[in-house]
Amino acid sequence: MQRLGYPHAYARLLDELNRMGDLHRRPPPTRVLDCGLGTGVLGAAFARAVPGVATVTGVDLSPAMLHHAAAILTAEGVAAELQQADARCLPYRDCEFDTVLSAHMLEHLPAPVAALREMARVLRPGGLFVVVAARASIVDAAIRLKWGHAPLDPTDLTRWMTLAGMRDVRGHPLGSAWTPARWLSRAFVGWKLSGEHHEKGA
């Protein structure tokens, strides 16, 4: 993640969201879930960018990733409440979190819409939802030979997030020009609708 420039790319993304006022909504986005957190780099960047985030809750299917994430978050001075769990069946109450983050998880799932709906379930109305997904590119095609993921069409991902109950879904480039993170990934940001006035189907 360091070599590909993701810590810097995530910091730039959050700086942009900060400038746009997206990180200053009320109540403050302090209850954070990082879903499929991997090494915890996105959760750590969010905790650095948003005052008041002392704890990042995270789930991943891989015990090894949970171990790496715990080390990274601890090094950043962030308390970590991590557990092994499937994003399609989260062990949390409805509307429990102010912010849900997910980086490079959905493209590994056979049913990404199910995970999006479940993440939306645990997000409070008005809460911030940040998804980072792989971009289809020559570089990504080479990486897919090892990891076997399937890049998501940006139009499909935006539509799925909207169907899951998000509004104002926007795409954001990652990092500065000519960095691997920018070629490999793109972020999608939305906010959960207040109430249940959204479509249920996909």
List the domains of the chain with CATH numbers.
Answer: 6-190 (3.40.50.150)
Six token digits for residue 88: 């399609």
Asked if residue 119 lies in contact with residue 36, where contact means CB atoms within 8 angstroms, the answer is no
pLDDT in tens, the chain (202 residues): 666 788 899 999 999 999 998 887 667 778 999 999 999 999 999 999 998 888 999 999 999 999 999 999 999 899 999 999 999 999 999 999 999 999 989 988 888 999 999 999 999 999 999 999 987 554 544 454 455 556 788 999 999 999 999 999 999 988 777 777 777 889 999 999 876 444 444 3
pTM, 2 dp: 0.88
Q: CA torsion angle for 15, 76, 67, 101 (degrees, to 10)? A: -20
CA distance 159 to 117: 12
Residues β-bridged to residue 100: 33, 129
